């Protein structure tokens, strides 16, 4: 059952379920990963060309996940790093992938770095942004970033991209070579995706910040000087994220940066003229113990309803250099979130020379684990880390049990359920080696070790919400607890993971409810959803009464009919009573859906 409150826009649910007949339920086991490149048909090798100059070749190597052809199965974009054309592995829905970069128009020989996936022009199709230093045939240079606009299928069913970065204002993110990671997010809550690009190099004027505002049609303006705080600190940026930390819906900027320059910019919300700006609250918030921030992931690791921020760093115990796990503590009256670094006490301090990291429930036992990769030439080699959560955010490295205790020169990584069997798989980029895809074999034939629920968000029908559900908070209640997830774009080092919201249920055999707190302030509650499925929740225009994606006389007629018959659906404003104010609010929302 779906319940709506407080000027709700409605939601529709579609699902694809695994058959439950004849499936035995046993206690949850540890995740078990198998190297699956041969079975999956992925033979990518990521060896960077030395034309990157400086140390940029050593730091590159990312991957991004996106459902680029909207078939419900995740695909992979892998930069070729100048030695091979960029790759776009399309999921064939049978456990295999096919590199279709050429037919899609992304098979460029470029000095690629970070990437991000988002629908920038609100047409319902995922686009791809790539930070690049230009063609591999030349030395690295600025102004060569790429924005691939998804054209959808042609008359023959062939999908393709059109490169439009210069046309749309995001080809140049810095006056010199230096871009690293990027992320999308709706910083001003106007219903479109803005872009933040991090830069490891810097100039006096920029300090490594670039925030591009979307005009609603996918054309961008650099608003860094007007919107971001004046800052004397040079940010040596790697991994940016946009996520609301204080509950006012406006996302903060979480900037994971090198050389003790990580920053937290808190949103001030709109001023009297409607302009949204940020203030620097790094020190006040307690973001002061990182030294070489590389990758980042945000999640609620201890289940207290407050988001936590994990960063990979370089492990040098003699200098007190560790990973950081900033646990959310409280929010001050002025909206500043306060964190406490507990990486050491919670068992996640040591990663070697850390880079990519993801967090998710990889064993489907009901809590959030952390997986991280590492490596650097002439540095003590460390195996990949799989930190299992004990349910209270105390972690234990069990990589040797999960099959992930390998040593690579790891950079980017991502998580996704590429075979759609209900558990999270992993991909790793080896700087100078083969790309790796690991299939999670948590589920064996004839058994279901732990239940799950996976949710895709579709906000295309709502004019006030950013595409792909960016900015949505999702709270599932099961096993007597609330389990928080947030769609922050899933960015990490030089790429991003899938946007599908994943819940492992452990031994729970039902979910009481799932609450969707949309970025416009409205709320949808789905009660008792079926489990062991991947479902899509659609958000609609607040006044689209019959949820058909159109505005016609029938919406007005059905609202009036519900009102006159005293049907509960006539309580449009969700105040518990049906009166003339529901009609007035309906008309207002029909004309002004985003107010």
Nearest alpha-carbon partner for 485 in 506, 468, 464, 471: 471
pLDDT in tens, 315-331: 999 999 999 999 999 99
Residue 340, judged by CB atoms within 10 A of its CB (0-12, 13-18, 19+), counts as: middle
In the chain, DSSP finds a helix count (H) and a strand count (E) of: 9, 43
Does the model's pTM come out above 0.75?
yes
Q: What is the pLDDT of residue 14?
A: 58
CA distances from 489 to 88, 111, 196, 201 (A): 19, 24, 12, 24
Q: What is the C-alpha to C-alpha distance for residues 432 and 519, in angstroms, rounded to an integer?
A: 41
Average pLDDT, the chain: 92
Query: How far, CA to CA in Å, does 120 sit from each of 88, 103, 168, 430?
Result: 19, 22, 10, 30
d(CA 187, CA 293) in angstroms, rounded, equals 23
Mean pLDDT computed over 456-485: 96
What is the pLDDT at residue 2? 47
Average the pLDDT over each of 96-100, 138-142, 244-248, 554-558 and give the range with the smallest value: 554-558
pLDDT at 296: 98
Model confidence over 514-523: pLDDT tens digits? 999 999 998 8
Cα distances from 380 to residues 316, 377, 407, in angstroms, run 11, 8, 11
Answer whether 331's CB lies under 8 Å from 246's CB: yes
pLDDT of residue 16: 47
Contacts by residues 245-249 (CB-CB < 8 Å, ≥ 24 positions apart)? 245/307, 245/328, 245/331, 245/337, 246/331, 246/335, 246/336, 246/337, 247/331, 248/335, 249/189, 249/471, 249/519, 249/520, 249/521
Q: How confident is the model at residue 291 (pLDDT cuts 50, 70, 90)?
A: very high
Closest to 478 in 3D by CA, of 313, 366, 349, 397 = 366
């Amino acid at each position: 059952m779906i319940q709506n409150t407080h000027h709700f826009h409605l939601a529709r649910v579609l699902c694809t379920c695994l058959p439950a007949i004849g499936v035995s339920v046993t206690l949850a086991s540890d995740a078990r990963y198998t190297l699956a490149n041969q079975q999956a048909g992925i033979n990518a090798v990521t060896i960077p060309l030395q034309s990157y100059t400086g140390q940029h070749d050593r730091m590159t190597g990312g991957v991004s996940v996106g459902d680029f052809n909207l078939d419900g199965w995740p695909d992979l974009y892998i930069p070729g790093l100048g030695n091979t054309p960029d790759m776009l592995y399309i999921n064939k829905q049978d456990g295999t992938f096919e590199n279709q970069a050429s037919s899609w128009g992304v098979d460029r020989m470029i000095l690629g770095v970070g990437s991000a996936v988002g629908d920038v022009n609100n047409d319902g199709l995922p686009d791809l942004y790539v930070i690049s230093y230009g063609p591999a045939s030349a030395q690295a240079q600025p102004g060569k970033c790429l924005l691939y606009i998804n054209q959808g299928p042609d008359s023959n069913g062939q999908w393709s991209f059109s490169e439009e970065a210069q046309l749309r204002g995001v080809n140049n993110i810095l006056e010199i070579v230096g871009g690293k990671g990027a992320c999308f997010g709706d910083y001003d809550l106007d219903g479109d995706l803005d872009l933040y690009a991090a830069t490891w190099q810097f100039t006096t004027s920029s300090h490594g910040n670039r925030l591009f505002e979307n005009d609603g049609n996918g054309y961008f303006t650099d608003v860094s000087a007007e919107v971001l705080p004046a800052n004397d600190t040079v940010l040596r940026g790697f991994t940016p994220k946009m996520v609301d930390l204080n509950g006012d819906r406006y996302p903060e900027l979480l900037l994971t940066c090198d050389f003790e320059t990580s920053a937290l910019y808190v949103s001030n919300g709109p001023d009297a003229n409607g302009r949204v700006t940020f203030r620097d609250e790094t020190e006040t918030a307690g973001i002061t113990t990182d030294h070489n921030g590389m990758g980042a992931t945000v999640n609620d690791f201890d289940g207290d309803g407050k988001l936590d921020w994990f960063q990979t760093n370089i492990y040098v115990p003699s200098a007190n250099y560790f990973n950081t796990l900033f646990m959310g503590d409280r929010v001050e009256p002025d909206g500043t979130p306060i964190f406490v670094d507990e990486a050491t006490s919670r068992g996640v301090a040591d990663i070697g020379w850390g880079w990519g990291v993801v967090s998710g429930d990889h064993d489907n036992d009901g809590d959030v684990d952390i997986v991280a990769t590492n490596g650097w030439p002439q540095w003590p080699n460390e195996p990949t880390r799989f930190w299992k959560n004990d349910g209270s955010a105390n972690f234990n490295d069990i990589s040797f049990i999960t099959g992930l205790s390998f040593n690579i020169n790891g950079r980017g990584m991502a998580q996704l359920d590429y075979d759609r069997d209900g558990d999270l798989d992993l991909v790793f980029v080896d700087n100078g080696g083969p790309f790796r895809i690991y299939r999670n074999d948590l589920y064996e034939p004839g058994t279901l070790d732990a239940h799950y629920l996976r949710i895709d968000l579709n906000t295309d029908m709502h004019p006030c919400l950013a595409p792909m559900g960016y900015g949505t908070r999702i709270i599932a209640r099961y096993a007597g607890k609330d389990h928080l997830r947030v769609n922050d774009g899933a960015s990490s080092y030089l790429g991003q993971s899938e946007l599908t919201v994943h819940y492992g249920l452990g031994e729970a055999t039902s979910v009481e409810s799932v609450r969707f707190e949309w970025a416009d302030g409205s709320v949808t509650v789905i009660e008792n959803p079926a489990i062991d499925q991947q479902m899509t929740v659609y958000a609609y225009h607040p006044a689209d009464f019959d949820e058909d994606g159109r505005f016609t006389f029938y919406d007005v007629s059905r609202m009036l009919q519900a009102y006159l018959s005293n049907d509960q659906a006539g309580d449009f404003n969700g105040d518990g009573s049906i009166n003339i104010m529901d009609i007035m609010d309906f008309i207002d929302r029909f004309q002004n859906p985003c107010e």
